[in-house]
Amino acid sequence: MTQKLSAPFILERRFSAPRELVYAALTDATHLAKWMSPPGMEMLHCTVDAREGGVFHYAMKPSGAPDTAAMWGKWTFRELTSPERVVIVVQFSDAEGGVTRHPMSADWPLYTLSTTTLTEDSGGTLMTH
């Protein structure tokens, strides 16, 4: 069976912050724990080994829902060029860090490649992802 590759899509966002700080927000556990969870979710586990081949491993679940199972995920850092580029492989995971299927979509790809570049822009940072 041949796997279908999706066409890439590009997102841009400007931040009123120096790119060193935006880079840290993508590679430092203290920052990732604060912003990675979407609204209504809480981060339960967050470890980061920010080096090529290292992993950001995390778990989250709905806030105030003690009986809800955690959703696990991980990024494997493929390239880190501070403060300008982060390339990661994104995966759903289990508590041990193994790769799993999306818990709500069996057709979701096991691996997604994500490249983020950070450039200085009018006193802030332009993130292209």
Superfamily covering domain 14-128: START domain (3.30.530.20)
Residue 109 has a CB neighbour count (10 Å cut-off) of: 16
Residue 5 has a pLDDT of: 63
Task: Record the tokens describing residue 87, joined without a space.
Answer: 């390339």
Residue 66 has a pLDDT of: 80
Q: d(Cα 17, Cα 83) in Å, to the nearest integer?
A: 12
Residue 95 has a CB neighbour count (10 Å cut-off) of: 10
- Give ∠ CA 124-116-125 in degrees, rounded to 5: 0
Residue 3 has a pLDDT of: 60
Residue 2 has a pLDDT of: 57
Residue 118 has a pLDDT of: 98
Q: d(Cα 68, Cα 123) in Å, to the nearest integer?
A: 43
The number of C-alpha atoms within 13 Å of 116 and in the hemisphere containing its C-beta is 24
Residue 65 has a pLDDT of: 84
Q: d(Cα 53, Cα 104) in Å, to the nearest integer?
A: 27
Residue 85 has a CB neighbour count (10 Å cut-off) of: 15
Task: Record the tokens describing residue 84, joined without a space.
Answer: 């300008």
Per-residue pLDDT of the chain (129 residues; tens, 9 = 90+): 456 666 778 999 999 999 999 999 999 999 999 999 889 999 999 999 999 999 999 999 999 888 888 999 999 999 999 999 999 999 999 999 999 998 888 898 999 999 999 999 998 999 999
Residue 4 has a pLDDT of: 63
